[in-house]
Amino acid sequence: MNANVQEKIISGHKTGGLMLFLILVLYIAAIPGVIAGGVGGAWPIALLSGIWLMFGWILLLGLKVLKPNEAVVLTLFGKYVGTLKGDGFFWVNPFCTAFNPASNTKLGQSGDVKLPGTAVTVGTQGSTSLAVEMPTKKISLKVMTLSNSRQKVNDVLGNPVEVAVAVMWRVKDTAKAVFEVDNFKEYLSLQCDTAVRNVVKIYPYDVTDNIDTTGDGEADDGSLRGSTEIVANRIKEEIQSKVSGAGLEIVDARITYLAYAPEIAAAMLQRQQAAAVVDARKLIVDGAVGMVELALERLNENHTVELDEERKAAMVSNLLVVLCGNHDAQPVVNSGSLY
């Protein structure tokens, strides 16, 4: 887009109702004008009335109806004229044409544009009918949702991860959106895919030692699974930096799906299970050692029994077996002496 072209809001054109009324009145007056001019010999009146009847309908092309949060970018013979914004009934130069290169593009879950000739099911009091909705050149200014398909991306450790992101966005500058890029919806979708890859490859799936995810040169505990909010914000900032020049605003971004790729999911599950077992065993051993130490201290404090080093070692071994075993211990009663 030419650097001198900026978004221009067309105001003071909410005269659609008045123009429609005048056009209809002139059409009604032109019919008797043709008849009276031809019969009475007033050929100029008859000629003007006939010309109006043939070409007056062109003025109807200038009528534009906009709902809230809709806009129309108008061009006149290839030159940008301005943008109509706000709800109302407008009348503009009938030779102006609406321009929207993304009118036939439908994004996942956006629901802002129907494909040409798409049949839409409409229910009315228990009955169902079909209506055909054609694409429009209007630009929606509402917040819309882009939900691209899942992507397979390698994390910082090289493990393939599947990620899906939902991005909430809206058009901020209509002139940049239609003139700066060829198709702002396709451009947004591509930038979303790129941003997801650029951000995900910085993080490990789970917390991993000696990994720097913030770029400050120090290891941290950031991960895709544990720092979802931070990762989503970085994806949002990454997309925004790419689409600002296209007049788009990224309202929010959220990770909707995150998992290991199927080819390594089973192996990663086994590793997680093994890590969980090791952590559980470590906790059991730490608790058992503490209980053994407490038992020996209490026996020494109360002088309940005097044990030499060999008997202490045997007692520690027995207690650890009982406390750390997977099954209940079978008691053995010693009927003889301690020694």
How confident is the prediction along the chain (339 residues), in pLDDT tens digits per residue? Answer: 445 578 888 887 888 889 999 989 988 888 888 777 767 667 788 888 888 888 888 999 889 999 898 999 999 998 999 999 988 899 999 999 999 988 888 776 555 544 444 444 444 444 444 344 455 789 999 999 988 788 888 888 888 889 999 999 999 999 999 999 989 999 999 999 999 999 998 988 887 777 878 777 777 788 888 888 999 999 999 999 999 999 999 999 999 988 888 776 566 666 666 667 777 777 777 777 787 777 777 777 766 666 667 776 777 776 767 666 666 666 665 555 555
Q: Using CB atoms within 10 Å of the CB of residue 84, give its burial: 0 to 12 exposed, 13 to 18 middle, 19+ buried.
A: buried
Provide the residue ranges of all domains of the chain, joining segments of one domain with +: 1-99, 139-260, 269-324
Burial 183-221 (b: 16+ CB within 10 A, else e): bbbebbbebbbebbeebbebbbbbebeebebeeeeeeee
Residue 32, phi-psi category: left (phi > 0), alpha (psi -120 to 50), beta (remainder)? alpha
Q: Report the alpha-carbon distance of residue 153 to residue 150 in Å, rounded.
A: 10
Four-way CATH pick for 139-260: 3.50.50.60, 3.30.1510.10, 1.10.1740.10, 3.30.479.30: 3.30.479.30
Give the pTM: 0.70
